[in-house]
């Protein structure tokens, strides 16, 4: 069923609260809203991130569901609440099953539930793998821009890991004005690396694209390095690979050994979130017994409190915050609802009389 847009209800002096209709927003609808709007999405993510840093959100730790019989897989719950002009609560429920890739289907799948600010009733379920990838890529593009302002702008980018997130990061960098003379690519699967190169070529990416035999080649030849793998523990141990001082977007969080972080300037999106769940920064904290290796957060950089050094490697490690998913999900919902294409489930909430 399709309905015209009706804003989520609010408590007013003239009337009581009411139960909102419940809608389902498909991945196709999400993609139609977000595709080609990279700059707008970066702005939304930056605004939500700043609001979070100012205390305008509730963003508890993520919860990991793990399985003894499937140790490489997990499902993560990210509850959050964000204020501002369009306050909303909600939950992202995202799974990561790496073996899916061998079957030809994506590793990650996700849904996002939006809850009404006043009643607490959920009013939408959105397909969220695209939202999640977009907010991750937007935050990476924002960080790349702000962290490179006091050093020569990178012209050689390298990707270690070539899945969906890597593709989205390249798309968001290109969509926000970046171009590269050289693109280096490495993946444990040579077929995946070759497919990624083909994808970039078909997208019209400029510059030479090279598939490398190992991660060291990509790192040493790049001044902007993107880690987007499913590595469960550090596999890059030698700080000498980063001696040329690249900017590193450590999106997958578990690729770099503590020795690499200790030889670098380190920026995170949120300290308490990032230093959990055996991430590389968490392992570094456990090794050193302190957090002195951290130079600050991205908000510190945005506000001018921290200036990354131009002569050392700079590593940005974003854990990913549920408030960003909420902000982007609410934007998608409003756009779909405003177009009159919202798919409402009739009578989703049925028992609405307390006494039957």
How far is residue 266 from each of residues 195, 304, 355, measured CA to CA in Å? 32, 16, 57
pLDDT digits (tens, 9 = 90+) for 273-324: 999 999 999 999 999 999 999 999 999 999 999 999 999 999 999 998 999 9
The predicted-structure confidence for 192-229, as pLDDT tens digits, reads as follows 999 999 999 999 888 899 999 999 999 999 999 999 99
Which residues are registered as beta bridge partners of 158? 184, 225
CATH code of the domain occupying 2-132+322-344 = 3.30.1780.10
- Every domain of the chain and the residues it spans: 2-132+322-344, 136-317
What CATH number has the domain spanning 136-317?
3.40.50.720
Query: pLDDT confidence of 143, banded at 50, 70, 90?
Result: very high
Residues 6+ apart with CB under 8 A from 152: 223
Query: Residue 3 above 70 pLDDT?
Result: no
Q: Give pTM, 2 decimals.
A: 0.92
């Amino acid at each position: 069923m399709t309905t015209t847009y009706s804003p989520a209800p609010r408590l007013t002096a003239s009337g009581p609260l009411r139960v909102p209709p419940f809608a389902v927003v498909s991945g196709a609808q999400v993609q139609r809203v977000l595709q080609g709007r990279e700059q707008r999405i970066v702005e939304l993510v930056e605004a939500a991130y700043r609001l979070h840093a100012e205390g305008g959100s509730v963003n508890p730790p993520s919860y990991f569901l793990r399985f003894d019989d499937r140790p490489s897989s997990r499902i993560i719950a990210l509850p959050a609440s964000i204020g501002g002009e369009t306050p909303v609560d909600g939950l992202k429920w995202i799974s990561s099953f790496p073996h899916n890739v061998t079957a030809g289907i994506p590793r990650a799948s996700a849904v996002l539930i939006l809850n009404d600010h006043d009643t607490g009733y959920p009013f939408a379920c959105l397909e969220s793998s695209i939202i999640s990838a977009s907010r991750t890529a937007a935050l990476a593009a924002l960080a790349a821009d702000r962290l490179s302002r006091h050093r020569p702008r990178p012209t050689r980018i390298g990707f270690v890991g070539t899945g969906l997130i890597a593709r989205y990061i390249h798309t968001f960098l290109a969509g926000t004005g970046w171009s590269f003379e050289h693109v280096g690519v490495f993946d444990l699967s040579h077929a995946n690396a070759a497919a990624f190169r083909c994808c970039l070529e078909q997208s019209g990416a400029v510059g030479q694209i090279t598939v490398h035999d190992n991660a060291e080649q990509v790192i040493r030849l790049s001044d902007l390095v993107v880690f987007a793998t499913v590595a469960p523990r550090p596999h890059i141990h030698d700080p000498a690979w980063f001696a040329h001082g690249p900017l590193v977007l450590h999106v997958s969080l578990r690729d770099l050994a503590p020795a690499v972080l200790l030889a670098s300037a380190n920026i995170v999106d949120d300290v308490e979130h990032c230093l959990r769940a055996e991430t590389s920064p968490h392992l570094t904290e456990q090794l050193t017994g302190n957090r002195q290796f951290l130079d600050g957060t991205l908000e510190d950089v945005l506000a001018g409190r921290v200036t990354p050094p131009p002569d050392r490697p700079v590593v940005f490690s974003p854990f990913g915050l549920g408030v960003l998913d909420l902000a982007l999900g609410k934007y998608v919902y409003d756009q779909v609802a405003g177009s009159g294409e919202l798919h409402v489930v009739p009578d989703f909430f049925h028992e609405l009389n307390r006494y039957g």
